[in-house]
């Protein structure tokens, strides 16, 4: 019963958060300078032609009316029509047909990074917490702290200079046309995947190590140590379950980052993902496309944080059965 109430409470909170975010996204895109009509017709367009195109695209309607129309379409699964490339009397391109292949590319990249980074990070984090103060612990701690301080564009640029320019092992861009074979696709995906694995793993390793060591100072862990239980067993059988909450949360945040925050990585490697599509939409002032991409990003954050909260509650008996 308590779990059902917690799930219902978080679902309602997620829906309210998504609605507030939709208002902020629509308001933020509405106040941006310029519009798609000016982009389409260019700087030499007459006021009459601009007014005609804006009326044809529905840009002359009040902002609140456009918001409710957009929200209503969004609730029915209609992401709208891309305004870029449209003209007077033309329909435009459905945003869903533009987003689906880009979203698949982003999810494929995020999946590859997650399959490598999560097991690697958890293993290194647990091993270093089992042997604190050792040479291995100092090397891993120094490496992760250094890599966290380095931005992803510098990591990607360094990998391009070394693996693509100097040694020529891998292509410097990760453009995907959809016709690549298995080996060709692997070579194309290695560079952005390796960049994101380096960036993401460092944060998860440090959080895993810090959380487990913090739990190790608990009274029940001290009692287990006094009983003579091996440190490895204490961590894996007792400390890990109470440390799952913060670890799952940092994993969820990094997975959400892989979906929505990889604009720089996709730009460096020319990877045709959803974040790159968002940048293209901003450049062309294609606000329906920008709004749809932003809502997908925000929804991914909310869903992943919800999953992390549920995992935390289910893994901790004190949260499942509060006094």
Give the pLDDT mean for 36-54.
Answer: 66
**Is residue 178 in some structural domain?**
yes
Same domain, 146 and 180: yes
User: CA–CA separation, 110 vs 257, rounded Å?
Assistant: 9
The answer to whether residues 191 and 269 touch, using CB atoms and an 8 Å cutoff, is yes
Q: Which of 57, 91, 125 is the last residue of a domain?
A: 91
**Is residue 251 in some structural domain?**
yes
**Is residue 297 in some structural domain?**
no
Per-residue confidence (pLDDT) for residue 169, from 0 to 100: 82
- Read off the CATH number of the domain in which 252 is found: 1.10.3720.10
Same domain, 144 and 87: no
Give the pLDDT mean for 214-237.
Answer: 79
Query: Is the pLDDT confidence value at 125 over 80?
Result: yes
User: What residues form DSSP beta bridges with 81?
Assistant: 94
Same domain, 182 and 122: yes
Ramachandran quadrant class, 92 (left: phi over 0; alpha: psi -120 to 50; beta: rest): left
Same domain, 36 and 164: no
Give the pLDDT mean for 160-181.
Answer: 77
Same domain, 86 and 119: no
Selection from 5-9, 95-99, 240-244 with the highest mean pLDDT:
95-99
pLDDT tens-digit map of 55-65: 766 666 777 77
Q: Which of 63, 91, 119 is the last residue of a domain?
A: 91
The first and second tokens of residue 263, run together, are: 């604009």
pTM: 0.79
| Mean pLDDT score of the chain | 79
Query: Is the pLDDT confidence value at 200 over 80?
Result: yes
Per-residue confidence (pLDDT) for residue 191, from 0 to 100: 86
The answer to whether residues 197 and 113 touch, using CB atoms and an 8 Å cutoff, is yes
Query: Is the pLDDT confidence value at 88 over 80?
Result: no
Output the CA–CA distances (angstroms, integers) from residue 183 to 179, 180, 190, 212, 270, in the order listed: 12, 8, 11, 39, 19
Q: What domain count does the chain have?
A: 2
Same domain, 115 and 158: yes
**Is residue 278 in some structural domain?**
yes
| Domain ranges, residue 50 | 2-91
Per-residue confidence (pLDDT) for residue 2, from 0 to 100: 64
Same domain, 185 and 233: yes
Same domain, 32 and 63: yes
pLDDT tens-digit map of 64-77: 777 888 888 788 87
Q: Which of 91, 124, 150 is the last residue of a domain?
A: 91
Same domain, 57 and 200: no
Question: What is the four-CA torsion angle of 287, 14, 242, 250, rounded to 10 degrees?
Answer: 0
Same domain, 148 and 74: no
Higher pLDDT among residues 260 and 25, named by residue: 25
Selection from 44-58, 132-146, 158-172, 218-232 with the highest mean pLDDT:
132-146
Same domain, 136 and 249: yes
User: Which residue in 174, 162, 158 sits closest to 108, CA to CA?
Assistant: 174
**Residue 317 CB-half CA count within 13 A:** 1
Give the pLDDT mean for 292-298.
Answer: 87
Q: Residue 244 — pLDDT band, cuts 50, 70, 90?
A: confident
Same domain, 134 and 183: yes
């Amino acid at each position: 019963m308590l779990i059902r109430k917690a799930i219902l409470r978080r679902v309602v909170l997620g829906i309210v958060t998504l609605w507030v975010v939709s208002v902020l996204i629509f308001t933020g895109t509405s106040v941006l300078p310029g519009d798609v009509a000016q982009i389409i017709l260019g700087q030499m367009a007459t006021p009459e032609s601009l007014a005609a195109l804006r009326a044809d695209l529905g840009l002359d309607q009040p902002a609140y009316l456009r918001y409710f129309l957009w929200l209503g379409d969004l609730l029915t699964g209609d992401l709208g029509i891309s305004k870029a490339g449209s003209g007077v009397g033309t329909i435009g391109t459905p945003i869903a047909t533009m987003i689906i292949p880009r979203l698949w590319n982003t999810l494929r990249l995020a999946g590859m990074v997650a399959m490598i980074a999560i097991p690697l990070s958890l293993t290194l984090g647990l091993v270093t917490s089992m042997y604190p103060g050792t040479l291995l612990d100092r090397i891993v701690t120094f490496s992760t702290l250094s890599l966290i301080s380095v931005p992803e564009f510098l990591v990607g640029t360094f990998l391009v200079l070394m693996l693509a320019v100097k040694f020529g092992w891998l292509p410097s861009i990760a453009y995907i046309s959809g016709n690549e074979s298995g080996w060709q696709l692997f070579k194309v995906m290695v560079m952005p995947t390796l960049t994101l694995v380096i960036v993401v793993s460092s944060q998860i390793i440090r959080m895993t190590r810090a959380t487990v060591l913090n739990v190790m100072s608990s009274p029940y862990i001290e009692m287990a140590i006094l009983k003579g239980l091996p440190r490895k067993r204490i961590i894996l059988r007792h400390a890990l379950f109470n440390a799952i909450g913060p670890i799952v949360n940092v994993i969820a945040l990094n997975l959400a980052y892989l979906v929505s925050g990889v604009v720089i990585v996709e730009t460096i490697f020319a990877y045709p993902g959803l974040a790159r599509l968002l940048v293209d939409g901003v450049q062309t002032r294609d606000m329906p496309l920008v709004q749809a991409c932003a809502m997908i990003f925000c929804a991914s954050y909310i869903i992943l944080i919800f999953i992390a909260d549920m995992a935390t509650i289910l893994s901790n008996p004190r949260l499942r059965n509060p006094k």
